[in-house]
């Protein structure tokens, strides 16, 4: 099955922190985002941009997907960020504070103008009230062909809470409807979708609960702010051993000669349909991809 790529733990690395950029080459995160926005003070934006792009040029990130998060489109740094990131050729460019389809289309036009290959994808951060209201239109760009680069959505839950005034609390109940809406549109239009960060990285139990909630809500993985969070995210968003075992049983059952033409079968006292075989195939493909992660970049 093609197109399967784990994004269980996706770590933000401050673009201005040379030590962290170097450390990212050894961490077990499925993906790393070099951040030029929130973690970088205004007076060092240029230096952080140069440092992050130099790290990209050096390479050595192996199986890890590497992305660069830009400053928002309305900021004075956006255009320079976009041009430099495009030239650095990461796997993806993360557009912060996406609020409508024009934010995506503008970035695509600029990347095309600078002859950046379509293989450099776009990840849209949904982190404002307007972005939430327009998330369906934004996501639909990929399915309608208006965007060749849009690959996924990243939820910015800190900014969503700040701008809406909601108080998420430990169960994030006020945010859940919006989180589910983002998952729904991502699935409808063939995009991956990542949950927001958990700030209290020393609260191990709290982070574990939020990872489990994110998986229950349907997210592909979680964005992280500290390396100590990687192992839990990787474990939580990977297929569990019992899920892999059940998936193999479903695939094997439908492969039997007497079941090959059936749309539904009885498996250990439970009705299993062809749609479950599709889910099972994806589970096995993801498990295989995780277990055999190989070099993805030079």
Separation of alpha carbons 126 and 178, rounded Å? 10
Strands (E), the chain: 9-14, 31-35, 65-69, 92-95, 121-126, 150-155, 192-195, 221-224, 264-267, 270-273
CA gyration radius, the chain: 20
Q: How many domains would you assign to the chain? A: 2
pLDDT of residue 294: 60
Residue 69 lies in a domain: yes
Residue where a domain terminates, one of 236, 252, 273: 236
Residues 186 and 247 in one domain: no
Residue 206 and residue 73 in one domain: yes
Give the domain CATH number at 42: 3.20.20.60
Residues 225 and 248 in one domain: no
Domain match, 161 and 271 both = no
pLDDT at 298: 34
pLDDT tens for the 298 residues of the chain, in order: 557 899 999 999 999 999 999 999 999 999 999 999 999 999 999 999 999 999 999 999 999 999 999 999 999 999 999 999 999 999 999 999 999 999 999 999 999 999 999 999 999 999 999 999 999 999 999 999 999 999 999 999 999 999 999 999 999 999 999 999 999 999 999 999 999 999 999 999 999 999 999 999 999 999 999 999 999 999 999 999 999 999 999 999 999 999 989 999 999 889 999 999 999 999 999 999 999 886 444 3
278 within a domain of the structure (yes/no): yes
Domain boundary among 193, 218, 236: 236
Q: Residue 2 falls within a domain, yes or no? A: no
Q: Decide which of 206, 236, 266 is a domain's last residue.
A: 236
- Indicate if 217 and 271 belong to the same structural domain: no
In this predicted structure, what is the pLDDT of residue 4?
85
**Together in a domain, 24 and 58:** yes
**Within-domain flag for 73:** yes
Any idea which residue has 């205004």 for tokens?
Answer: 42
Q: Of 105, 65, 101, nearest to 220 (Cα)?
A: 65
Q: Is residue 216 situated within a structural domain?
A: yes
Degrees to nearest 5, angle at CA 19 with 17 and 25: 110
Please indicate, yes or no, whether residues 218 and 245 belong to a single structural domain of this protein: no
Asked whether residue 26 is assigned to any structural domain, the reply reads yes
CA distance 122 to 95: 7
pTM: 0.93
Predicted confidence at residue 260, as pLDDT, reads 87
Residues 100 and 191 in one domain: yes
Q: Do 194 and 287 fall into the same domain?
A: no
Examine residue 4 and state whether it is found in any structural domain, yes or no: no
**Which domain range does residue 167 map to?**
9-236
55 and 190 fall within a common domain: yes
**What are 177-231's pLDDT values in tens digits?**
999 999 999 999 999 999 999 999 999 999 999 999 999 999 999 999 999 999 9
* Sequence-distant (≥ 6) Cβ neighbours of residue 122 within 8 angstroms: 92, 93, 94, 95, 104, 107, 108, 147, 149, 150, 151
User: 170 with 231, same domain?
Assistant: yes
Please indicate, yes or no, whether residues 24 and 86 belong to a single structural domain of this protein.
yes
- Whether residue 296 is contained in a domain is answered as no
């Amino acid at each position: 099955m093609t197109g399967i790529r784990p994004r269980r733990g996706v770590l933000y690395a401050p673009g201005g922190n040379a030590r962290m950029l170097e450390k990212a080459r050894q961490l077990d995160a499925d993906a790393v985002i070099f951040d030029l926005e929130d973690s970088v003070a205004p007076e060092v934006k240029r230096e952080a941009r140069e440092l992050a792009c130099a790290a990209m040029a050096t390479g050595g990130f192996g199986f890890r997907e590497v992305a660069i998060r830009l400053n928002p489109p309305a900021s004075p740094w956006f255009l320079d960020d976009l041009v430099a990131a495009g030239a650095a050729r990461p796997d993806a460019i993360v557009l912060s504070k996406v609020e409508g389809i024009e934010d995506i289309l503008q970035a695509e036009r600029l990347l095309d103008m600078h002859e950046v290959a379509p293989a450099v994808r776009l990840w849209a951060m949904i982190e404002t009230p307007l972005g939430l209201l327009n998330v369906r239109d934004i996501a639909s760009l990929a399915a309608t062909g208006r965007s060749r680069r849009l690959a996924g959505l990243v939820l910015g839950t800190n900014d969503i809470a700040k701008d809406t005034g909601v108080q998420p609390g430990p169960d994030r109940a006020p945010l859940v409807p919006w989180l589910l809406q983002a998952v729904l549109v991502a699935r409808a239009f063939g995009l991956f979708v990542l949950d927001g960060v958990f700030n209290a990285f020393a609260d191990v139990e709290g982070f574990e609960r939020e990872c489990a909630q994110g998986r229950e809500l349907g997210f592909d993985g979680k964005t992280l702010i500290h390396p100590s969070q990687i192992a839990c995210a990787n474990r939580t968003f990977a297929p569990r051993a019992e899920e892999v075992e059940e998936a193999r049983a479903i695939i094997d059952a439908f492969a039997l000669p007497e079941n090959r033409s059936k749309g539904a079968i009885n498996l250990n006292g439970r009705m299993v349909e062809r749609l479950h075989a599709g889910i099972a195939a994806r589970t096995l493909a993801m498990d295989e991809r995780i277990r055999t992660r190989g070099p993805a970049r030079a």
